[in-house]
Amino acid sequence: MVSNSIVLERRNDVKRINNGKGKRLPEVAGSWPIIGHLHLLAGSQVAHKVLGSMADKFGPIFTIKLGVHRVLVVCSSEMAKECLTTNDRAFASRPKAMATELMGYNYASVGLAPHGPYWRMIRKLIVLELTSQHRLQMLARIKVSEVKSSMMDIYRTWVTNARSYERVIVDMKQWFGKLVVNIVVKMMFGNHFSPGEQNGDQFLKAITRFAQLVGEFVPSDFIPWIRWLDLGGYEMKMKKTALEMDAAINGWLEDHKKKRNYASTLQVDESKDQDIFMAALLRRVEEAAKEELYGFNADDVVKSTCLIHHDPQIWITPFEFHPDRFLTSNKEVDVKGRHFELIPFGSGRRMCLGMSFALESLQLILASIIHAFEFQNPSNEKINMTESFGLVNHKAGPFELQVAPRLSPRVYGFLD
């Protein structure tokens, strides 16, 4: 989850972090009755920028009030390290929220589940059956196949729409989104969405809405007694999104249950790895479901990531694109949770389980398309990088580029 702020929330009291005297941190002024500082986060600016402005004024650690909750905001690498190492266990949980209840299978999703025996069990299952290095190597052919297929989609678009050797406009935001969904869905369920396929488009839209709704500031999460009003219609939207995602996933699961015996035949084809994986996964889930897992030890802590990714004390020209900085001034910094100047995957026990998968996929995708195609901005203006609201701050608008092949036409025949 790539965002730009760390927010740690605890109901009724703010967790004391080795402050010596056990005193509460001061609360930012401007709190309104009942809603607290919610009005500051309800504007057109994304939350991390609002919190960043507060940090410039009040320092790297302060508290705000969101409804009935007091919230600790941390925006320095030193404090991030303190929270995610020394006090890692105290901040290892997740809060109860409408989104995690309605779209996270009643707090059962591994990324949103509170810390406890259930989370440890499901985390172990995912590491063993999906994100381990052995499993990623076994399923590596899927990533290669999907990247080739998606690149061929771009080439066909160019062949169909371009005049002579002119470039064709492609929405790369949509292309990247479909490719990532196809890789994940193919690895887990053995399915693939073709261009223009209705089910694929609907599932991608549902995933996008899920990420957006999880990142929304839902009034009833902070003022519980007004949930029955459903202000903003969030409950209705979340239930609809959950049903759309369930419809697709349940169809794939039922299909694989019927084909589980197929895996035992060990037929040598492209679907072999997916079938074996699904058979093992379903067996492990069924075994785990027989265990009685009562009571999550939820201590109502919310985490995001941190403002330190744009801290000018750490990064020279932090809002400019200079990848060479990781070969010179910041060459010792990596993204694997050991250097708190840059933690896009988090750190500690709740670090993102898909980090290795994400990094391998990113390198493969970028290397492939940069080698195969030439890209150009269709206008002379800078690309609008306005961020959208949500769990992940995506680019708000489309990312349209002019694309043309840079290799011989016969090379693209090998992508089929």
pLDDT digits (tens, 9 = 90+) for 303-347: 445 567 878 888 888 888 888 888 888 888 888 888 888 888 888
Q: Over the Cα atoms of the chain, what is R_g?
A: 23
Separation of first and last alpha carbons in the chain:
33
What share of the chain in percent tops pLDDT 90? 21
DSSP for 263-289, written as a single string: HTT---STTHHHHHHHHHHHHHHHHHH
Listed in sequence order, the residues at least 6 apart from 42 whose beta carbon sits closer than 8 Å to its beta carbon are 217
Residues contributing to the annotated binding site: 352
C-beta of residue 173 within 8 angstroms of C-beta of residue 399: yes
pLDDT digits (tens, 9 = 90+) for 213-237: 988 889 999 999 999 999 999 999 9
CA atoms in the 13 A half-sphere facing the CB of 32:
8
What pLDDT, on the 0 to 100 scale, is given for residue 241? 93
What pLDDT, on the 0 to 100 scale, is given for residue 29? 85
Tell me what the mean pLDDT of segment 69-76 comes to: 83
pLDDT class of 270 with cuts at 50, 70, 90: very low
Quickly list H helices, 62-166.
Answer: 77-81, 98-102, 117-126, 133-138, 140-161
pLDDT class of 3 with cuts at 50, 70, 90: very low
Tell me what the mean pLDDT of segment 239-265 comes to: 73
Question: How far is it, in rounded angstroms, from Cα 407 to Cα 411?
Answer: 7
User: Would you say residue 27 has pLDDT above 70?
Assistant: yes
Question: How far is it, in rounded angstroms, from Cα 367 to Cα 348?
Answer: 30
What is this structure's pTM? 0.78
pLDDT class of 131 with cuts at 50, 70, 90: confident
What pLDDT, on the 0 to 100 scale, is given for residue 43? 76
Question: How far is it, in rounded angstroms, from Cα 112 to Cα 101?
Answer: 9
List Cα–Cα distances, 338 to 77, 195, 296, 330, 351, in angstroms: 11, 40, 28, 14, 11
265 or 360, greater pLDDT = 360
270 or 100, greater pLDDT = 100
What pLDDT, on the 0 to 100 scale, is given for residue 186? 86
Question: How far is it, in rounded angstroms, from Cα 185 to Cα 276?
Answer: 15
What pLDDT, on the 0 to 100 scale, is given for residue 58? 86
Q: Is 216 helix (H, G, I), strand (E, B) or coil?
A: coil
The CA dihedral of 360, 362, 368, 373, to the nearest 10 degrees, is: 180
What pLDDT, on the 0 to 100 scale, is given for residue 301? 37
User: Would you say residue 296 has pLDDT above 70?
Assistant: no
Residues contributing to the annotated binding site for heme: 352
Tell me what the mean pLDDT of segment 49-57 comes to: 85
What pLDDT, on the 0 to 100 scale, is given for residue 260? 61
Tokens found for residue 56: 């410039």
What share of the chain in percent tops pLDDT 70? 78
Domains of the chain from N-terminus onward: 92-306+343-415 (1.10.630.10)
User: Would you say residue 371 has pLDDT above 90?
Assistant: yes
Query: In terms of Cα–Cα distance, which of 235, 237, 231, 274 is closest to 253?
Result: 274
Q: What angle do CA 321, 325, 327 make, to 5 degrees?
A: 135
H or E element in which residue 6 lies: strand 6-11
Neighbours of 382 (CB within 10 A): 7
Query: In terms of Cα–Cα distance, which of 354, 290, 358, 282 is closest to 111?
Result: 354
Tokens 């790297």 -> residue: 60
> Partners of 36 in the beta sheet?
32, 66
Question: How far is it, in rounded angstroms, from Cα 96 to Cα 104?
Answer: 11
> Partners of 404 in the beta sheet?
374
> Partners of 74 in the beta sheet?
6, 61
* Per-chain mean pLDDT for the chain: 78
Pairing of strands 168-171, 6-11: unpaired
What pLDDT, on the 0 to 100 scale, is given for residue 196? 61
What pLDDT, on the 0 to 100 scale, is given for residue 91? 79
